[in-house]
Chains A and B, each alone.
Chain A
């Protein structure tokens, strides 16, 4: 089992690994058919140290914050390590956000340094939001073309200091990263994840899914996401494994990467896993009748021999072609970010490809429970990881209640928001807002959410408050966005949808013009943030003295309506 007890910080653990595994490959970066880069741990250090030195020359010191906005690539990890080496706090942001959302979070995080790839910076530099984030003092851009207009930024490739940088120690309690779990529209939720959170999570996760030199992890989930940061950077780096980045995430290049780079692990969101399943199923269905019969018989044998636990060697022999399409070295697909349907998990397990299904949230430092595959269970999210205490608060008669977590991996709190922190962490227990119960084997089963939010199959957390701005000044008396599940609890974790609740002016009709207006506004939102339908309510919304909508009370009133007829499609 990995022992990180002697380390105080993420930077310190990686620093040792760079020397210990100096000759091992740590990064491979490919773009379409071309391999752009292959770095050993020694190369990585040689790239990162001049950057750390330049940061220090620019007075970047312990506790200073630096943000990264990049797609997955070597420079992401090199930059992150340089920031940790210099004692900084990292604020990784989702590169898919809009420029204004980026500036809003940059301001909130207090970042003094921004590291971005040039195409992203091109949009950021001309965005109106830039004027608000005066805290950002230095901007480093990667891969800017020779004649590019830099808009006040410096080239990352030229930002190098001569001489050795000085390693800046941090303590386990210090914040390592500020990870935004949501809140781009209203109230940013910047989870302060400490060095201890990462060190403990790394030990817990690698106890079930270990890394070692030679293991290759395909990094597809964005690295700002807590899962990829752990299994696509910190985990493999502390163990001498390699991370493979693809600059073009088209399905055909992802497919090719498995055999080409002999991938050991990959993390995906449920949507990608479901698409993989669809593709494979279509290929199986297209087999001639005779071959299909043989194939089905082999799957049946595989199911029988892997009933108690995975037997990779046997599965690889039995279903050779399937496993070869995945490169022949795949040990597990890690799925995260949202709930995965049991039949999808079962599909892959029956082929002898274990799916590491679990449950987690950024606030808990990623994973809380993971399926240990002893035996495989598709109907649960597994057992708590070592070091996690999980209990069910206020269980109903059937044992279902709110899942709460206490462990060394739980975040320190939300940045600049003690009120929200106090709501989330009560007496040391993180209240997840998710509903679940334990079965007799100690496996956690989930049954919907207590909180007003949805998680899409792409692993995106969407809070209704964050998308309401787009409906501002809609010509109605009042409106409010809800997760349909919050109004009508369905005890389901899939197919979650948002609805717009509208209270019309006296005498106003829900006209075609209004419907079109709502539709046009809805289309301005990114596709996964869009509302699914409209609910009309002919009464005043309950409000507080400061005129804020009492969402819980309103949801209760709406709950009396029949969801089947109340939701009008757009």
Chain B
């Protein structure tokens, strides 16, 4: 079982990879709309990658209003 810290790190690594950013350039408190300059639709694409990676289903409503990696990782952790 992963710890929240591990999950958060994996989320950051995957997001960086997905949006072709250098590893380590994202932090848990980053707002992904601002930091990545993405819109809500691109966020949904990123979620599907995360779902596949963690082997979970994250319903759309769980991520409504979430805009930072830390909260996103917490939502994922609760479903692991």
Contact = CB atoms under 8 A, between A and B. Distances in A.
Interface of A: 32, 71, 95-96, 98, 117, 119-120, 247-252, 271-272, 275, 458, 523, 526-528
A247 B62 CA distance: 13
Given A251-B44, A272-B41, A527 B61 contact: no
Nearest to A117: B61
Interface string B37-71: 00111101101100000000101111011010000
Contact of B40 (A119, A458, A523): A458
Nearest to A456: B39
Given A526-B65, A527-B67, A271 B44 contact: no
Nearest to B61: A119
A415 B31 CA distance: 37
B48 A252 contact: yes
Contact of B59 (A248, A251, A271, A523): A248
A251 B45 contact: yes
A120 B45 contact: no
9 contacts: A32-B57, A247-B60, A248-B59, A249-B60, A250-B45, A250-B47, A252-B48, A272-B41, A458-B39
Contacts of A526: 65, 67
B64 A250 contact: no
Interface of B: 31, 33-34, 39-42, 44-45, 47-48, 57, 59-62, 64-65, 67
Contacts, number: 49
Given A96-B64, A98-B65, A527-B33, A250 B44 contact: yes
A252 to B, nearest CB: 6
Contact of B44 (A71, A117, A249): A249
A421 B7 CA distance: 52
Contact of B60 (A98, A248, A528): A248
B60 A527 contact: no
A458 B44 CA distance: 14
Given A98-B65, A117-B61, A119-B59, 20 more contacts: A32-B57, A71-B60, A71-B61, A96-B65, A119-B62, A248-B59, A248-B60, A250-B48, A250-B60, A251-B41, A251-B44, A251-B45, A252-B45, A271-B39, A272-B41, A523-B34, A526-B67, A527-B39, A527-B40, A527-B67
A67 B35 CA distance: 37
A249 B45 CA distance: 10
B72 to A, nearest CB: 14
B31 A523 contact: yes
B61 to A, nearest CB: 4
A120 to B, nearest CB: 7
Nearest to B47: A250
A248 B57 CA distance: 10
Q: Which of A248, A251, A252, A275 has the most CB of B within 10 A?
A: A248
A117 B62 CA distance: 12
A451 B60 CA distance: 34
A248 B60 CA distance: 6
Nearest to A570: B34
A270 to B, nearest CB: 11
A458 B61 CA distance: 18
A508 B41 CA distance: 41
Contacts of A275: 39, 41-42
B75 to A, nearest CB: 12
A528 B31 CA distance: 13
A120 B57 contact: no
